[in-house]
Amino acid sequence: MSPVREGLRAYRLISAMWIRSLMAYRVSFAMTALGNFAVTAFDFVAILLMFSQVDRLGGYSLAEIAFLYGASCTAFGLADLALGSMDRLGRRVRDGTLDTLLVRPAPVLAQVAADRFGLHRIGRLAQGTLVLTYALVVLDIDWTPPKVLMVPLMLLCGAGIFAAVFVGGAAFQFVAQDAAEVQNAFTYGGTTLLQYPPTVFAKDLVRGVTFVLPLAFVNWLPALYVLGRPYPLDLPSWVAFTPPLVAAALLALAGVVWRAGLRSYRSTGS
Amino acid sequence: MLVRAGRFRLYAAVTEGSFRRYATYRMATAAGVFTNTVFGLILAYTYLALWDERPGLGGYDQSQALTYVWLGQALLTVMALMGGGFEGELIERIRTGDIAVDLYRPADLQLWWLAADVGRAAFQLLGRGIVPMVFGALVFDLTLPPDVLGWLAFLVAAVLGVLVSFAIRFLVALSAFWLMDGAGVTQVAMLAGTFFSGMLLPLNVFPGALGEFARALPWSALLQMPADVFLGERSGTALLRTYAFQLGWAAALLTVGRLLQAVATRRVVVQGG
């Protein structure tokens, strides 16, 4: 079996086990999923409160920002559902329980990713999808085949980009065991940034999330194509179609970084 | 009198121990400072866009609004707005029954945890508050208190805020005596804490009745009020009214905590630990 198929199989088995264990307490599951929904919903409530005072933010209407928000939140929700447990890696390195995963006959990445698989994270995904649906209903868009295609493409590639950030962040924890919060800055911080239009932010910050950590490809560039809005930094129009390439390159890079991190791992020993 | 001095020394030692305990995690603190700075930066630009559109919104000018953002990041962990204080530990002790051991100690449960929480808050203010604030002041034009008195006034408001924050979280933790599982209550408290403290948006930007309602709740004592004192929005009698509001909520919630503690500890005896 190829390592990828083996990994997916292990991931499926472990996550299925955690789902079964979650479903043993259905009320508790429903409550945590609802809580997860509510926590993220407050971010959108804050935007609604802002729009109770203004008609536009950074030149964008509420419906347009809802589109950016929904796309970012849904893409992030997908990655979070699949890999949200990765930030527990630092703890496993510290207390030595990572060793248990090393001796099992399954890829470590799949085991770490599926560890304590939290189906309740579906709450965040549901919230993002809801806002995205609202935006698609309210927005007045001249739909063309490429624009229609761009919506699912954007969500999938965005999830891929965030997945790479999750894996890269976890690899960093092999080195800095106590720094799970740094990962939060890029994951939660990243999705918060993308909820607002690029016109809100300083040029250098936009440059950073376009060329250094290419989060702009999650939703800004494809979404602005759908909305028919100018891109930031006067980028050419074809960049809206590059998210698949960016996601693939980032995932490959994250794989390399992960392997390097794993190789540098020294057990606590005791 | 001697007993009293001894007691004071005990709680002072608990505070110091708690301070040191948090100071041990240097890497985690550095990581937290980094995250607070990143979020501060993102929020600052969204506030800039908002105040560009509506100058003077909520009675703040642009510089005050930006200062509010960085104060929020500086006070986020100090006030434990998203949780992360002592309450998780206390809930765990109640759940496992270890609380019985605590009740045998010659120390008061509420004062003991208050002392520990004050140590935690003091460390978070120094460890996670200053660096993001300095970064914010270097990148943006912030409004700082004009003199030492202004800083002192803010410090008093912040200490009172910590007191209210502790009182709320003590109640959250005590609920575990009845529910055995604190997850649900902790989550609701976290939601209320972020929303009604003004962490997402200053409470004076909330429209109409919602704003008035939010400003009357105890959570406004955690961020909105210390921030307003810092920004020089409350001086003279308004400052005294602010302190009175904070003290009032602290006294009320701490008293309820005392009463609940008495009822709860009787339950422990009934259950046999």
Residue A59 CB neighbours (<10 A): 13
- In Å, what is the CA distance from A129 to each residue of A7, A29, A136, A142? 28, 20, 10, 21
Give the integer Cα–Cα distance in Å for B150 and B146. Answer: 6
Place of tokens 């791992």: A265
Q: CB of B43 within 8 A of CB of B77?
A: no
Contacts of B153 (CB under 8 A, 6+ apart): B145, B229, B235, B239
Average pLDDT score over residue span A248-260:
94
- What three-state secondary structure class fits B90? helix
CB spacing of A49 vs B34 below 8 angstroms: no
| B67 vs A180, higher pLDDT | B67
Q: In 3D, which of A40, A246, A251 has the Cα closest to residue A153?
A: A246
pLDDT, position A35: 85
Query: What's the angle, vertex CA A200, arms to CA A199 and CA A202, rounded to 5?
Result: 85
Residue in B26, B181, B194 closest to A42 by CB: B194
Give the integer Cα–Cα distance in Å for B225 and B239. Answer: 9
- In Å, what is the CA distance from A174 to each residue of A94, B30, B247? 9, 16, 46
Q: What is the mean pLDDT of chain A?
A: 90
pLDDT, position A104: 83
Show which residues on chain A lie within 8 Å of chain B, measured between beta carbons: 28, 31-32, 35, 38-39, 42-43, 45-46, 49-50, 52-58, 176-182, 184-186, 189, 192-193, 196, 199-202, 205
CB spacing of A42 vs B31 below 8 angstroms: no
Is A222 exposed, middle or buried, given 0-12, 13-18 or 19+ CB atoms closer than 10 A?
Answer: buried
pLDDT, position A59: 93
Best probe of the B interface among A22, A201, A215, by most B CBs < 10 A, is A201
> Which alpha helices (H) appear in chain B, and where do they start and end?
2-24, 26-53, 62-75, 87-96, 99-104, 109-124, 130-139, 148-174, 176-179, 183-196, 208-216, 224-230, 237-271
Q: Looking at CA atoms only, how far is residue B132 from chain A in angstroms?
A: 13
Give the integer Cα–Cα distance in Å for B5 and B65. Answer: 45
Torsion of CA B70, B74, B75, B77, to 10 degrees: 130
Q: Is the pLDDT of residue A57 over 90?
A: yes
Chain A residue with CA closest to B196: the answer is: A42
CB spacing of B50 vs A53 below 8 angstroms: yes
Residue pairs spanning A and B at CB distance below 8 A: 97
pLDDT, position B258: 93
Residue B254 CB neighbours (<10 A): 18
pLDDT, position B116: 94
Average pLDDT score over residue span A225-238:
92
Contacts of B162 (CB under 8 A, 6+ apart): B78, B79, B117, B118, B121
Give the integer Cα–Cα distance in Å for B82 and B74. Answer: 13
Q: In this predicted model, what pLDDT tens digit does every residue of B217-255 receive, in sequence order?
A: 999 999 999 999 999 999 889 999 999 999 999 999 999
pLDDT, position A269: 60
Give the integer Cα–Cα distance in Å for A82 and B102. Answer: 41
pLDDT, position B95: 84
Q: In 3D, which of A249, A265, A78, A69 has the Cα closest to residue A164?
A: A249
Report residues of chain B scoring pLDDT below 50: 273
pLDDT, position B114: 95
Q: Is the pLDDT of residue A216 over 70?
A: yes
pLDDT, position A128: 95
